[in-house]
């Protein structure tokens, strides 16, 4: 490994509370939106239920039981050599309903323990305040489409900032905040209690909810700077990079328009502090009228984040229907985007196109745009791993994927891009956001559980664990 990486580079890995902790109602925790998403083997994707139904399986209720095995898991992270650990706080462990008068002390003590153990292990926490699990109670009042959520989130964040001052240096406000632009309803950070096909789940509603999140993020960013001047706040953006399928100008402008609205729009607002002209044009063309308070624009301007963070898994192509049909290019889909297959790329078992060169392209593009430090907080390969009789897991395919992306990141740093951390998804096998299944594994650490939580839950180190351990120790 090259010495191009700075000594304080945060080599790490990531998780999310609702996908790993379990213990969904222990120690005073309230219900989040993730806790009413039941697995549906026939449909594949999780389904929202009105309440917890005893005949259904809810993967988040147990997940991989990190809540009870946190010391064991941090010990494994220390052995892996992690310098950073991107995690999330479950909002409903701190404020069970979201709008409670007082925080839940048991929840605060749990994360005190987590941060103390991480410090002993020499691991810097990078904490997401809201990772796809707003309080269920608040979604029944409209979630982020209701302006009340702003005050509740600021109250929650202020409590966290004061409690963990000196223990947490890096915060992210909302995970993949730009995903509120797509109609996932309750499954996204928006917590809007309606499904994908609900006719009331409109762009107007989603952009209004997103505006409220922009205001909330700006307020808590300013609040953190007051409470703990040494701490930093970042935005977290899902990279949905699309290439123009052909050299036709129409395809190229389609790609530009998609990329701006899908992953540049949110970061433009959170880093530059105002709505860009292309977004205002989009709102006008689509009859989207945001309801703002007089002070909102000033709040957003004064609460710009300190750094940019993102997820990166894949890319797709975009084109007019005529151009795609002419070339006979098939559609594809992935984590959060769908598009057209790139004939020059290979794909994973799930059809996600593998594009390490696109990673370098994205990092350069973002740094050219903002000149802000970049922290990569998700990047990885989901695959069906096999636990052999000797408890080994040979995942050369994951090593190949990660190695190629680390090499591209290294090239981006040589290009002058300021990358301050790399935290692949995921530190340990997790349940999937969209399905609740665990069969699509990402972790460096294997967890012996099946899609319905059956198994020992024992942890086993994959070959990629030892590969990444070597990368970190030699960088």
Mind listing the pLDDT tens digit for each residue in 365-414? 999 999 999 999 999 999 999 999 999 999 999 999 999 999 999 999 99
Tell me the mean pLDDT in the region 317-345.
Answer: 72
Catalytic residues: 176, 378
Between CA 70 and CA 95 the distance in angstroms is 21
pLDDT above 50 for 197: no
Tell me the mean pLDDT in the region 457-464.
Answer: 98
Mind listing the pLDDT tens digit for each residue in 121-156? 999 999 999 999 999 999 888 889 899 999 999 999
pLDDT above 50 for 186: no
- At 196, is the pLDDT very low, low, confident or very high (cuts 50, 70, 90)? very low
More confident residue, 327 or 418: 418
pLDDT above 80 for 330: no
Contact 257, 340 (CB under 8 A): no
SS (H, E, C) 207-221: HHHHHHHHHHHHHHH
DSSP type of residue 15: -
Mean pLDDT of the chain, nearest integer: 92
Lowest mean pLDDT among 58-62, 126-130, 241-245, 346-350: 346-350
Return the residue matching tokens 């462990």: 93
pTM of the predicted model, to two decimals? 0.94
- At 325, is the pLDDT very low, low, confident or very high (cuts 50, 70, 90)? low
Its sign, for the CA torsion 242, 305, 110, 98, is negative
Return the residue matching tokens 């969209």: 434
Return the residue matching tokens 């700077």: 225
Contact 470, 453 (CB under 8 A): no
Q: What share of the chain is helix, strand, coil (3-state, %, to 5)?
A: 40, 15, 45
pLDDT at 338: 64
pLDDT at 336: 54
The top-scoring range by mean pLDDT among 13-27, 251-265, 316-330 is 13-27
pLDDT at 119: 98
Residue ranges covered by each domain of the chain = 10-473
pLDDT at 198: 54
β-bridge partners, 234: 172, 307
Which CATH superfamily, name and number, covers 10-473? Glycosidases (3.20.20.80)
pLDDT above 80 for 44: no
pLDDT at 141: 87
Return the residue matching tokens 């309440």: 51
Q: Where are the alpha helices (DSSP H) in 85-184?
A: 91-94, 105-120, 136-139, 148-163
- At 202, is the pLDDT very low, low, confident or very high (cuts 50, 70, 90)? confident
- At 195, is the pLDDT very low, low, confident or very high (cuts 50, 70, 90)? very low
């Amino acid at each position: 490994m090259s010495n191009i990486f700075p000594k304080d580079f945060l080599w790490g890995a990531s998780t999310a509370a609702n996908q790993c902790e379990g213990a969904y109602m222990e120690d005073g925790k309230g219900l989040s939106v993730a806790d009413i998403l039941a697995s549906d083997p026939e449909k594949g994707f999780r389904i929202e239920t009105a309440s917890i139904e005893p005949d259904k399986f809810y993967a988040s209720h147990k997940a991989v039981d990190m809540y009870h095995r946190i010391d064991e898991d941090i010990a494994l992270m220390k052995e892996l050599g992690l310098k950073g650990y991107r995690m999330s706080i479950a909002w409903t462990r701190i404020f069970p309903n979201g709008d409670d008068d007082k925080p839940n002390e048991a929840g605060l003590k749990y994360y005190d323990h987590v941060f103390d153990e991480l410090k002993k292990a020499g691991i810097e926490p990078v904490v997401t305040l809201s990772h796809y699990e707003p309080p269920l109670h608040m979604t029944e009042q409209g979630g982020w489409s209701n302006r009340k959520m702003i005050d509740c989130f600021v109250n929650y964040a202020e409590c966290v900032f004061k409690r963990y001052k000196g223990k947490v240096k890096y915060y992210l406000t909302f995970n993949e905040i730009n995903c509120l632009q797509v109609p996932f309803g309750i499954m996204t950070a928006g917590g809007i209690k309606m499904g994908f096909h609900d006719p009331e789940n409109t762009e107007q509603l989603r952009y209004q909810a997103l505006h409220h999140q922009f205001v909330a993020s700006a307020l808590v960013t300013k609040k953190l700077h007051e409470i703990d001047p040494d701490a930093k706040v970042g935005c977290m953006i899902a990279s949905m990079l699309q290439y123009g399928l052909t050299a036709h100008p129409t395809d190229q402008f389609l790609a530009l328009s998609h990329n701006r609205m899908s992953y540049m729009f949110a970061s433009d607002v959170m880093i530059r502090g105002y709505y860009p002209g292309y977004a205002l044009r989009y709102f006008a063309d689509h009859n989207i009228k945001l309801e703002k308070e007089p002070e909102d624009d000033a709040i957003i301007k004064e609460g710009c984040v300190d750094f940019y963070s993102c997820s990166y898994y894949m890319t797709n192509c975009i084109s007019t229907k005529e151009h795609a049909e002419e070339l006979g290019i098939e559609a594809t889909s992935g984590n959060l985007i769908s598009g057209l297959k790139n004939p020059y790329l290979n794909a994973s078992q799930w059809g996600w196109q593998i594009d390490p060169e696109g990673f370098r392209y994205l990092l350069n593009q973002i740094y050219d745009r903002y000149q802000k430090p970049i922290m990569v907080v998700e990047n990885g390969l989901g695959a069906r791993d096999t636990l052999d009789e000797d408890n080994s897991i040979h995942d050369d395919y994951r090593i190949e994927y990660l190695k190629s992306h680390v090499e591209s990141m290294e090239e981006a740093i040589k290009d002058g891009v300021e990358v301050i951390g790399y935290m692949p998804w995921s530190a340990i096998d997790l349940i999937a956001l969209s399905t609740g299944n665990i069969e699509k594994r990402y972790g460096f650490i294997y967890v012996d559980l099946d899609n319905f939580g059956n198994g020992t839950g024992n942890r086993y180190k994959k070959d990629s664990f030892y590969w990444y351990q070597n990368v970190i120790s030699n960088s």
